[in-house]
Structures are given as C-alpha cells and as structure tokens.
C-alpha cells in the first residue's frame, strides 16, 4: 500500500516512511515536502503490489506501527509550533497524512477480520470494544491492556454511518473522517457522561456507554495535558447543559450556522470550545487551526444554513498539540462503508462545482420536508414513535434544510450501494478492498452514465 513497486515489501516501505517522519527538519518547506511524500506514497499505491497473505499475518503489528507513526507525528506538533513551522501547507500536510494513514490501517483491519456487514440486520460494536484490534492504544496511556479509563474533560471524536455525517466531514477546505465531537464528564459518584450537541436534540447529556453505542464506526479519545483545566471544562459544560434541560430551563438548540462567536445555540464543536474557554477563564480558545468552509459546495451549505467562512470542525481537534491522542477505535466491518461515503461525498461536491449540478426539489420532497417541519413541534415521545416515518427534526431546522438533507441521502444512497457491491466483489475475488483510485474512477463512470440528473442533483446549463 505504501509503494507502487511490485517487488517491494510492505514492511520495508513502512520503515522508509517511518524514518522520513522521524527525520529532524529546520524549515517549513522541507517539512511540507516530507509530509507530501508520505501522503503520495500511501494514497497512490495498492495492496495488490504486495504479498496480501503475508500482510494479513502481520496486520496487528503493522496497524500499530501506522498508529504509532501518527502518534509520533502529533507529538511533534508543539515542537514545530515553537519553531514557527506550522504554515498552511504544513498544516494541510499533517491533516492529509493523518487521513490517508487511517485509511491504510482500516484496510489492514478489513483484510484481517474478513467479516464486513452485508445487510441491514447487522449491528455495530460499542465504541472502544471488540477483539480484532479494534482499539489501538497510545502506550503512554496503556494500563491493564485497555484505554477505557476515561478522565473528566476527555474529548471523543466520532464518525457515524449516515450520509449527512460524510457531508459534515467534507464541508471544510480539508477533507476529514469525522462528523461529531463530545466531552466526557465524570460525576462525584463515578458515573460517566457524554456532554454533546446533537442535530436532533441540541445540547444534551447522555450516559457515556449509550453515546458510544450510538451507530458510530470510528472514535478517537483525546486528553488535554492539563488535568485540572480539563476537569473544570467538563464540570462547567455539564452544569450549563444540565441547567438548560432542567424544568424551567431554556433548551440550547443545535446551531446550523457553524459560527463560533455566538453561544446562544451550540453545534458539537462549539460546545467543546465553550467548555474549554470557560474552564480556562478565557485563556484557551479552540481551535488553533480552524477549518475554512469550502465554498465549492455553496448551494448545499446555503440550504443547510452555514453562515461563516471559518469554523471549528470536529476534526480540528486532531491538530491540537495540547491534547494527547490516547486511543483510537474503529469497527472494521463498516470502515469500508464510511470510506466509500467519503469518496462519494467528495465527488458530489466536486460535481456541483465543476459541472454546475444543483439539488432540485420535487413535489414529493417538498411534501416530506413540510411534514418533517411539522413533526418538529411534536413531543420527544411522539417523535420517537414517528421516527420510522419522519426524520427527528429539531424545531429550529428550516424546511429547506430538511429538504436538502433528504435529497442528499436519496442521491448518495444508491451510489453508495453500487460502490459497496463493487467493493464486496473485489474482496471476494482478490481478498483486497477497492483502492481509492478505483472508487473514484467508478464514481466518474456513474456520473457519465447518469448524465444531467444524478438522483436529486440536476445539471444546470445556464
């Protein structure tokens, strides 16, 4: 996967990039070049160039080496900041390398476990559980063979299975693999809670075990190095959200604008930002490297309600030198699925920009979106009963947003299923998941086949 040379061994190529990643640098241009080199070798090469059976046998060790490589690169962020090397090119280089090495590790897990979910009756594991090297642990925090000893103030970055999760992960100028973030609070009785802001419910408090059991495929645990600051942040936001949900309190709704300068409503990252800002008495404000909104999908963003060019995206926490990466978990039965969702969303947004495709509402979509808006005024129990008919729509979600989310799902779903079939065929025939380049080629073939209408996307010729 790490070099397009048929005779090369995976382990030797991995060692090559490990050496490169550990090489001291004194200027930003050299650091950016090294990161670009690592990214290109990982993204362009193919497992088919290696002994797949041999790789499968060594997969657990190889996965940990890839994980340790990313942990090591993150550990250098503070040093590079001190040297003034974190230019936009270097920052993007780190994000690209983290993303592609996660994909490589996922594919190793898929090759090794060999049991992808193939139907809707399958179930996902709870976050940070499983026996197939699902949880990779930073050895600095390795205790009793597990990373499940959470601390108050820990931040959990996750990715769900919905197509809108892929869209959220892809709205910035740098693609990411994450759609949501929350903060852990441990109360005096020792009970663990996740404080988070959900599209459906706004700011809420959920038992941590239940939050980690909520249809997620990937989760990363980050820990701030200042334990006292982290504890204050968690206590503040827990009390703040609890008060809003108590009798007589004013609910904190989900903020679709993605703006960070107004805290009346909160999106998931802004909740974490508020926690640490108040916990540090205003001295620590996230993020260090904000996400610039990719205006290439402006039509979609306008319909969703995004009203800023700069935001705190969930994956920005990956670049915070003050947080340690404690553990990373993924359910390898579904990592191929979210990877295909990522690539599908890449192409949908690219087609909007390059070929002028736009979402076009039909009469049926208008009806569904109006009914969805109407259901927003039902009680929570009524919404749960009707969830199989109408989406759980928050009271502040505009009709046009309900419509575009529905159109996005109905456009992406058949494409995703076609790609999943191609991926399953590849695994059955070769033992190897589809390479990203092959997925992108398949997506272009779908666009050419579908012509001016791809689901609810219609190409405008004006």
Tell me, yes or no, whether 206 and 316 share the same domain.
yes
SS (H, E, C) 53-76: HHHHHHHHHHHHHHHHHHHHHHHC
Of 138, 289, 158, 155, the C-alpha closest to 224 is 155
Tell me, yes or no, whether 195 and 322 share the same domain.
yes
**Model confidence pLDDT, tens digit, residues 34-55:** 999 999 989 887 888 888 888 8
Tell me, yes or no, whether 193 and 289 share the same domain.
yes
Tell me, yes or no, whether 303 and 371 share the same domain.
no
Question: Please, how many CA atoms are within 13 Å of residue 456, restricted to the half-sphere of its CB?
Answer: 20
% of the chain exceeding 90 in pLDDT:
67
Report yes or no on 162 lying in a domain: yes
DSSP 396-413: T--HHHHHHHHHHHHHHH
Helix (H) or strand (E) holding 336, with range, is helix 335-355
Backbone angles phi and psi of 296, in degrees to 5:
-65, -20
Instruction: Tell me what pLDDT residue 200 has.
Output: 87
Backbone angles phi and psi of 254, in degrees to 5:
-70, 140
Tell me, yes or no, whether 321 and 340 share the same domain.
no
Q: Which domain holds residue 49?
A: 10-113
The residues pairing with 221 across neighbouring beta strands, listed in sequence order, are 156, 327
User: How many folded domains does the chain comprise?
Assistant: 3
Instruction: Tell me what pLDDT residue 415 has.
Output: 97
Query: What CATH number should be reported for the domain holding residue 313?
Result: 3.90.1720.10
**Model confidence pLDDT, tens digit, residues 141-168:** 876 555 458 999 999 999 988 888 888 8
Question: Please, how many CA atoms are within 13 Å of residue 334, restricted to the half-sphere of its CB?
Answer: 22
Report yes or no on 5 lying in a domain: no
**Does residue 449 have a pLDDT over 70?**
yes
Tell me, yes or no, whether 176 and 62 share the same domain.
no
Report yes or no on 444 lying in a domain: yes
Distances 79 to 72, 74, 75, 350, 372 between C-alpha atoms, Å: 12, 10, 8, 36, 50
Tell me, yes or no, whether 325 and 347 share the same domain.
no
Report yes or no on 123 lying in a domain: no
CA distance 321 to 96: 17
**Model confidence pLDDT, tens digit, residues 365-383:** 888 788 777 776 667 666 5
Give the domain-ending residue among 291, 307, 330.
Answer: 330
Tell me, yes or no, whether 158 and 306 share the same domain.
yes
Report yes or no on 372 lying in a domain: yes
Which region holds residue 33: left if phi is over 0, alpha if psi is between -120 and 50, else beta? alpha
Report yes or no on 2 lying in a domain: no
Tell me, yes or no, whether 314 and 344 share the same domain.
no
**Model confidence pLDDT, tens digit, residues 66-102:** 999 999 999 999 999 999 999 999 999 999 999 999 9
Helix (H) or strand (E) holding 294, with range, is none
**Does residue 439 have a pLDDT over 90?**
yes
Report yes or no on 120 lying in a domain: no
CA distance 258 to 308: 7
Instruction: Tell me what pLDDT residue 357 has.
Output: 94
CA distance 157 to 313: 11
Average pLDDT on 184-212 reads 96
Tell me, yes or no, whether 222 and 285 share the same domain.
yes
Report yes or no on 312 lying in a domain: yes
């Amino acid at each position: 996967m790490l070099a397009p040379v048929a005779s090369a061994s995976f382990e030797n190529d991995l060692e090559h990039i490990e050496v490169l990643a550990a090489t001291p640098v004194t200027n930003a241009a050299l650091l950016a070049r090294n990161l670009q080199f690592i990214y290109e070798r990982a993204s362009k090469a193919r497992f088919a160039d290696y002994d797949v059976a041999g790789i499968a046998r060594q997969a657990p060790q190889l996965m940990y080496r890839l994980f340790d490589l990313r942990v090591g690169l993150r550990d250098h962020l503070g040093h590079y900041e001190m040297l003034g090397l974190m230019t936009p090119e270097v920052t993007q280089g780190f994000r690209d390398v983290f993303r592609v090495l996660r994909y490589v590790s996922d594919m190793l897990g898929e090759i090794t476990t060999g049991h992808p979910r193939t139907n809707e009756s399958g179930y996902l594991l709870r976050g940070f559980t499983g026996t197939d090297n699902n949880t990779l642990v930073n050895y600095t925090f390795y205790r009793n063979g597990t990373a499940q000893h959470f601390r108050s103030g820990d931040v959990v970055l996750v990715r769900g299975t919905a197509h809108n999760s892929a869209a959220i992960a892809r709205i910035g100028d740098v693609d990411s693999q994450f759609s949501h973030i929350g903060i852990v609070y441990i109360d005096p009785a020792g009970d663990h809670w996740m404080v988070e802001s959900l599209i459906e419910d706004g700011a809420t408090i959920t038992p941590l075990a239940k939050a980690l059991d909520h249809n997620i495929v990937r989760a990363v645990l980050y820990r701030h190095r200042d334990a006292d600051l982290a504890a204050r942040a968690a206590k503040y936001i827990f009390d703040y959200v609890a008060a809003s949900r108590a009798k007589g309190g004013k609910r904190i709704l989900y903020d679709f604008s993605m703006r960070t300068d107004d805290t009346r409503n909160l999106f998931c990252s802004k909740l974490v930002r508020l926690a640490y800002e108040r916990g540090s008495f205003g001295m620590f404000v996230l993020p260090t490297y904000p996400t610039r909104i990719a205006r290439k999908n402006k039509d979609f963003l306008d319909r969703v309600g995004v009203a800023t060019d700069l935001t705190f995206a969930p994956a920005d926490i990956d670049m915070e030198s003050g947080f340690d990466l404690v553990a990373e978990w993924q359910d390898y039965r579904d990592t191929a699925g979210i990877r295909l969702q990522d690539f599908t969303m890449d192409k949908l947004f690219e087609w909007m920009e390059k070929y002028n495709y736009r979402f076009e509402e039909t009469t049926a979509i208008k009806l569904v979106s109006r009914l969805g808006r109407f259901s927003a005024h039902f009680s929570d129990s009524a919404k749960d009963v009707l969830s199989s008919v109408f989406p759980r729509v928050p009271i502040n979600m505009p009709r046009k947003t309900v419509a575009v989310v529905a159109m996005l799902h109905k456009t992406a779903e058949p494409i995703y299923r076609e790609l999943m079939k191609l991926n399953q065929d590849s695994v059955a025939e070769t033992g190897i998941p589809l390479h990203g380049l092959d997925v992108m080629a398949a997506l272009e073939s779908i666009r050419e086949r579908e012509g001016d209408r791809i689901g609810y996307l219609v190409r405008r010729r004006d």
